[in-house]
Structure 1
Amino acid sequence: MRLDGRAAAGGERMLTLKRFANPDVTRAFTNIAWLGLERLTQIGVAIVISGMLARYFGPDTFGKWQYANTLLLVLSPITWVCGAEILVPTIVNRPPEQLGTVLGSAFALRFSVSVLALLLTWLGIALHFFDPLVGAMLAGLAVTMLFREPFVGVINAWLQSMTYSKPQLLTSMSTALIKAGLVYLLVRATAAPARFGWLWALESAAIGAVLVAYFMRRHGGTLGWRLDRLLFRHFANAGTVFWLGLICMYLFLKLDRLMLERAISFADLGRYSAAQQLNENWITLALMLAQTIAPAFVYRVQGIAQLRRNMWRLTAMTAVLMVAGALVLDLLAGVIIRRVFGPDFEGAIEIFRWAVWLSVPAGIEAIGNLVVLKYQAKFVLLSKWLLALVVAFAVNLLAIPRLGAYGALVGLAAGYLAAASVNLYYIRFKLRP
């Protein structure tokens, strides 16, 4: 019996070692580590750059810079047609000799949509739809749409299909650090605010060029992308519901700044945006946590009872984590705002103290969304973010005229709660005993 027990224990250890020695598992963990490092680098660089620009621009011009970025983030999802949830499985399920056709068709679709989005943006700027300085800043920022999805997005989907995102992540980290250095040089040279947007365009072009060169090196020095009209039409139709859902989600996330621009000065909008940018970086950490734990605790779990237990535990853990983090950030709000943005942004301190508590419903929503993604419930995703958008818009209409920037926080909270409620309803329906 003792020998049998030792043999069994040894067998279990061998299985464990084999599991960790599995190249697919090793590759997945390595990919997650690189993803985490890249996200942390991007968050750090974003905070440093925002601090430099806030001190250089001052609240009014910084508010216009943040508004231009908000417009870009609202416009960018238009170029996300044929998302990774469609493109990556297509790459995996097609034979390797069809890779050029798959990537070429996806590139043609994304590039044509991106060119159209860029031209419409420039037309809006030319027709003076925006404040002149906002338009000048947006003119450069909008060029990123021409490179991000057609070049970076397509090649990144190919890398994801191999569970090997290191080239893209390493390139992204390197260019982010270089961009921070160039921002510093432009600040020291007292460059005009409109010129800074072109740094973001240069960054996206550099990432695209490096990834294209890497792809060509892996494929005998040629790109080999070809357009297939049937596949082009398939990509244009498939994933449309997910695409619309993502557009609604990003419009909801930036609706507060879009509506505040009509109600408060650009200086106050700059202070509000400064607080929200720090808060959004904190919320991003919750999303990173959700993405990291999703494969093991949600996507690969088949038993309904086990999945239901995992969801309640993950939700409780996330709530505790976000409450603890929000409490710390609330207490340190003054130190953080003054250190990052300087004395001209004192008005952002109280906004930041309230904004950090949005991380609690945002984190809970992110965990609940994992079940929606697991079962590819695209109409639930669309309905959820459409409801959140409508609720936030209605609350903003009532609250912003009365409460100003704090009214926008109330609108965001209401939208997050509406989205989390849809998740809860779907989880109870899908995972009922």
Structure 2
Amino acid sequence: MLTLKRFANPDVTRAFTNIVWLGLERLTQIGVAIVISGMLARYFGPDTFGKWQYANTLLLVLSPITWVCGAEILVPTIVNRPPEQLGTVLGSAFALRISVSALALLLTWLGIALHLFEPLVGAMLAGLAVTMLFREPFVGVINAWLQSMTFSKPQLLTSMSTAILKAACVYLLVRAAAAPARFGWLWALESAAIGAVLLLYFMRRHGGKLGWQFDKALFKHFASAGTVFWLGLICMYLFLKLDRLMLERAISFADLGRYSAAQQLNENWITLALMLAQTIAPAFVYRVQNLAQLRRNMWRLTALTALLMIAGAAVLDLLAGFIIRRVFGPDFEGAIDIFRWAVWLSVPAGIEAIGNLVVLKYQAKFVLLSKWLLALAVAFVVNLLTIERLGAYGALVGLAAGYLAAAAVNLYYIRFKLRP
């Protein structure tokens, strides 16, 4: 009866439905990403595919710059303000994000014009970088409004639909033998389409009007609030892509393409750990106030995650050859051994993701920033020492050292915060 009552609660039902849609969207994105990577790897070949992956790495390092005024600031502001102030909140957040995103895009294009990147990498990045102009200012702001209602279905449905359409368009461009530089603009078109659909949805829900307004005081608040979290996320994404940034100067683009192919599959596997953490966080961490119970939950979740990641990594290790050949083709044989070692990174990555839940629960922003700064520094030093000797395997050692450093900070914070 208690269970029935809980599910009869509209808030619980809405949250559960939201989690289901989030899971479907993530699984769709992972599947589409693997299919697209397989098509492009076979079409481009290792060398050009390495340049494509490096262009994507640069985008993923640049994109966090546009994440100013993140959801952890914007969503509570929407919830705590009267409904009639919604237009002012969203308008001020949009003004900040579009300004930062436009500046990031212009600086990226300037770097391309000044030939800071290899020519084909720059040509690919030129289109990919346009996604920054739409993702956070349009998609991010409206998605924050949807999150405030625990109703992300419109954004998730749109994202799934455009991802499938993008895969179809990639297939058509491959069949048409399109130039590699043109593919980046397809990603820009996808982000623009998602932004347009969500904008129309918002206007439909508000009588056909946008109603966004700019407030100088709120703009300044958004610019300063959440800065520490923002810097922490920048450090985190820089850490996650540091291996490819440093390998680009040490190995050929063909070898970088093989390494990136293995890592992309591995990162999709690690994403499942992050999905698990996001799914269980509200019930087992965020809503638990009793410290003893929270400690027990954390140790159990950590042990469960470690066992799950070890079991999954063992299976992927055994199937590495089959997976790489099926997805990327015979030109990527060199990625098999890299993938076999890379999948074991999911163990420290999963443990770190679970430990991070306590950091987020208590909004320990300086812990978050310090953690990823330490992980970034450790990975950088280890990469310097190992890449020259071990090549791509040295980058894996750097990632492992960074994950262990981040997990150690989580452990120290948990022992400090949850001590009896």
* Pair in the same fold by TM > 0.5: yes
Superposed CA deviations along residues 284-319 of structure 1, whole A, max 9, x for unmatched, are 000000000000000000000000000000000000
| Distance across 1 between alignment mates of 2:213 and 2:377 | 41
| Distance across 1 between alignment mates of 2:34 and 2:307 | 25
Task: Select which of 80, 84, 91 maps to 2:67.
Answer: 80
Q: Secondary structure at the match of 1:89?
A: helix
Q: CA deviation at 1:15?
A: 3.5
| Distance across 2 between alignment mates of 1:379 and 1:126 | 37
Superposed CA deviations along residues 12-50 of structure 1, whole A, max 9, x for unmatched, are xx4332211000000000000000000000000000000
Q: CA deviation at 1:238?
A: 0.1
Superposed CA deviations along residues 68-90 of structure 1, whole A, max 9, x for unmatched, are 00000000000000000000000
Q: Secondary structure at the match of 2:372?
A: helix
**Aligned match of 1:101:** 88
Q: Secondary structure at the match of 1:264?
A: coil
Superposed CA deviations along residues 381-427 of structure 1, whole A, max 9, x for unmatched, are 00000000000000000000000000000000000000000000000
| Distance across 2 between alignment mates of 1:18 and 1:279 | 41
**Aligned match of 1:8:** none
Q: Secondary structure at the match of 2:178?
A: coil
Q: Which runs of 4+ in 1 moved over 6 A?
A: none
| Distance across 2 between alignment mates of 1:240 and 1:418 | 23
| Distance across 2 between alignment mates of 1:260 and 1:15 | 55
| Distance across 1 between alignment mates of 2:367 and 2:53 | 31
Q: Residue 281 in 1 paired to residue 254 in 2? A: no
Superposed CA deviations along residues 122-145 of structure 1, whole A, max 9, x for unmatched, are 000000000000000000000000
Q: CA deviation at 1:146?
A: 0.1
Q: Secondary structure at the match of 1:293?
A: helix
Give the TM-score, by structure 1 length: 0.97
Superposed CA deviations along residues 323-376 of structure 1, whole A, max 9, x for unmatched, are 000000000000000000000000000000000000000000000000000000
| Distance across 1 between alignment mates of 2:147 and 2:84 | 18
Superposed CA deviations along residues 89-126 of structure 1, whole A, max 9, x for unmatched, are 00000000000000000000000000000000000000
Q: Residue 63 in 1 paired to residue 50 in 2? A: yes
Task: Select which of 232, 237, 243 maps to 2:219.
Answer: 232
Q: Residue 426 in 1 paired to residue 413 in 2? A: yes
Superposed CA deviations along residues 258-307 of structure 1, whole A, max 9, x for unmatched, are 00000000000000000000000000000000000000000000000000
Aligned residues, how many? 420
**Aligned match of 1:204:** 191
Q: Secondary structure at the match of 1:263?
A: coil
Q: How does 1:226-265 map to 2 (within 5 A)?
A: 226-265=213-252
| Distance across 2 between alignment mates of 1:139 and 1:245 | 26
Superposed CA deviations along residues 241-265 of structure 1, whole A, max 9, x for unmatched, are 0000000000000000000000000
57-66 or 18-27, larger mean C-alpha shift: 18-27
| Distance across 2 between alignment mates of 1:385 and 1:16 | 40
Q: Residue 167 in 1 paired to residue 167 in 2? A: no
Superposed CA deviations along residues 143-174 of structure 1, whole A, max 9, x for unmatched, are 00000000000000000000000000000000
**Aligned match of 1:5:** none
| Distance across 2 between alignment mates of 1:201 and 1:339 | 28
Q: Residue 123 in 1 paired to residue 105 in 2? A: no
List alignment gaps of at least 5 residues for structure 1: 1-13
**Aligned match of 1:3:** none
| Distance across 2 between alignment mates of 1:262 and 1:318 | 35
**Aligned match of 1:375:** 362
| Distance across 1 between alignment mates of 2:268 and 2:5 | 38
**Aligned match of 1:110:** 97
Q: Residue 323 in 1 paired to residue 321 in 2? A: no
| Distance across 2 between alignment mates of 1:351 and 1:16 | 46
Q: CA deviation at 1:204?
A: 0.1
| Distance across 1 between alignment mates of 2:175 and 2:101 | 34
Q: How does 1:34-49 map to 2 (within 5 A)?
A: 34-49=21-36
Largest Rg, 1 or 2:
1
Q: Secondary structure at the match of 1:354?
A: helix
Give the TM-score, by structure 2 length: 1.00
| Distance across 1 between alignment mates of 2:267 and 2:122 | 24
| Distance across 2 between alignment mates of 1:16 and 1:77 | 40
- How big is the alpha-carbon RMSD for the aligned residues of Structure 1 and Structure 2? 0.4
Q: Residue 191 in 1 paired to residue 178 in 2? A: yes
Q: Secondary structure at the match of 1:164?
A: coil
Q: CA deviation at 1:234?
A: 0.1
Q: Secondary structure at the match of 1:179?
A: helix
Q: Secondary structure at the match of 1:432?
A: coil
Q: Secondary structure at the match of 2:214?
A: coil
| Distance across 2 between alignment mates of 1:202 and 1:350 | 36
| Distance across 2 between alignment mates of 1:224 and 1:143 | 25
